[in-house]
Amino acid sequence: MRVITYGTFDLFHEGHRRLLERAKALGDYLIVGVTTENYDDSRGKLNVRQSLMERIKNVVDSGLADEVIIEEYEGQKVQDMQKYQVDIFAIGSDWLGKFDYLNDYCKVVYLDRTKGVSSTQLRNESAGVIRIGVIGAGRIAERFVAEARYVSGVSVEAVYTRRYEKAKAFADRLELDWANETVDDLLDHVDAVYIASPHNTHYAYARQAIERGVHVLCEKPMTLTEAETTELFELAARHEVVLLEAIKTAFAPGFQRMVAVARIGTIGTVRSVDATFTKLVGQGRELHGEDGGSISELATYPLLAVIKLLGHDFLDQRTTTFRPDDAEVDLFARIDLTYPGATASARVGLGVKAEGDLVVAGSRGYVYVPAPWWKTEYFEARFEDQSKNKKYYYKFDGDGLRYELAEFALMIRNRTPESFKLRAAESIAIARIIEAARTDSTVIR
């Protein structure tokens, strides 16, 4: 029986070895495909640290592969199944269902993840896998775990949420090593945490992790006040740990390039920024409680665009919110900022729908980013003379959470306390605007 499997095999560790051993046990001849740098890039794999030749050597030195091939492009697996007369295709269960189409060519076997070995072994052998714990077990936490498999050198291993039964179900479903009953227990198992709990719990969890020397990637908004956000960054600096706000857009290649195009003078001097993010929500936590509402839920994204394009030294802020008598929270809000020589408007809504685009107006032209601009894949620089218009295209892979995680991991490894893609002062400014918008607005009903 001829068996084939594929992988990046970056920083080869015991988890890789166990996977190859189990694949080999399915037959008597094992073929291992190792991905090229270009293919990894095309499928959204980030932070691969070793060259193709080093990764091939990792597999050869394991002594488990009877034959090593190179995977170079999407769709190659179909050809390989036929070319190498494969009987079984084996792959980790974190890809469950993705390769079912190959059943037309051979038997597809999904191998359960080997728990509790990969990161521990690797940390003893090399620069180490970063062990990550998740605080929260909702939808975004589940998406984060799925996205993490596209970032080399990290392993999501543990989860905590206030209801242990929910944490246990989450860990079992996503094949994590531990479901923790307390935050302290979680922090004992990991090097870093991703906080995806309700907004009003972020501060306490982040502070507890930082004081334990654990790095923190915290969902937006990091906190709902300027003082708490400032305090967390100061605390992280004292404890020499990385603290990063998880605003995925800030780390997306297309958004970064858009900001650069606008700020280098392509459209002249930036005079206004208008950003909109709305979604219709019929039920859920966003519509209830002290931390609910369109401002706390969505304003971080348009304010990111404003701060990145115009800076955080604005002169004035005015907010208008729509809150019907029968609503617990604001269902629409418009935040207007005045800068020296420029203006900005951030519009958000949970009960009002509008075109979710971004327009950056300049003295020579403007940049237009169509909806959904916060997942920037395409934008245009437009001018009075339309023959000078230019279009830009970039990838935005998956849910985009891999970009923030890749930057977070890079900061930890390089011991870099701050990323130019999202500076502490920018997160603090966003918190200041959100706090003011929630406490001082003109309410319409």
Q: Facing residues of 211 across strands? A: none
pLDDT interval class at 115 (50, 70, 90): low
Answer whether 2-111 and 250-444 agree in fold.
no
With 0-12 CB in 10 A as exposed, 13-18 as middle and 19+ as buried, what is 263? middle
**What is the CATH T-level fold of the domain 250-444, as seen in this structure?**
Dihydrodipicolinate Reductase; domain 2 (3.30.360)
Helical pair 14-24 and 52-62, crossing angle rounded to 10 deg: 60
CA distance between the termini of the chain: 70
pLDDT of residue 285: 83
Distance between CA atoms of residues 7 and 336, nearest Å: 49
3-state helix, strand, coil in the chain (%, to 5): 40, 25, 35
For the chain, give every domain's residue range. 2-111, 118-245, 250-444
Tens of pLDDT, residues 345-404 = 999 999 999 999 999 999 999 999 999 999 999 999 999 999 999 999 998 999 999 999
Judge whether residue 112 has pLDDT over 90: no
pTM for this one?
0.83
Q: What residue has token string 């809504």? A: 349
Both tokens assigned to 376 = 């920037």
Instruction: For residue 149, give the H/E element and its range.
Output: none
- In the 8-state DSSP scheme, what is residue 419? B
Tens of pLDDT, residues 253-304 = 999 999 999 999 999 999 999 999 999 998 888 888 888 999 999 999 999 9
Tens of pLDDT, residues 29-49 = 999 999 998 888 878 888 888
pLDDT of residue 113: 67
Reading across the β-sheet that carries 67-71, which strands appear in turn? 67-71, 29-35, 2-7, 88-92, 107-111
Judge whether residue 12 has pLDDT over 80: yes
Tens of pLDDT, residues 133-181 = 999 999 999 999 999 989 988 999 999 999 999 999 999 999 898 999 9
414 contacts: CB under 8 Å, gap ≥ 6: none
- In the 8-state DSSP scheme, what is residue 52? H
pLDDT of residue 145: 96
Tens of pLDDT, residues 51-67 = 899 899 999 999 999 99
Work out whether the CA dihedral 128, 133, 134, 135 comes out positive or negative: negative
Q: What residue has token string 């923030």? A: 404
pLDDT interval class at 318 (50, 70, 90): very high
| CATH tag for 2-111 (out of 3.40.50.460, 3.40.309.10, 3.40.50.1980, 3.40.50.620) | 3.40.50.620
The answer to whether 337 and 306 are in contact (CB under 8 A) is yes
pLDDT interval class at 119 (50, 70, 90): very low
pLDDT of residue 42: 78
pLDDT of residue 290: 84
Residue 281 CA to chain centroid, in angstroms? Answer: 22
Taking CA 93 as the corner, what is the angle to CA 87 and CA 97, rounded to the nearest 5 degrees? Answer: 75
Point out the least confidently predicted range of 105-119, 263-277, 300-314, 327-341: 105-119
Distance between CA atoms of residues 397 and 394, nearest Å: 10
Distance between CA atoms of residues 399 and 71, nearest Å: 24
Indicate the class that CATH gives domain 118-245: alpha beta
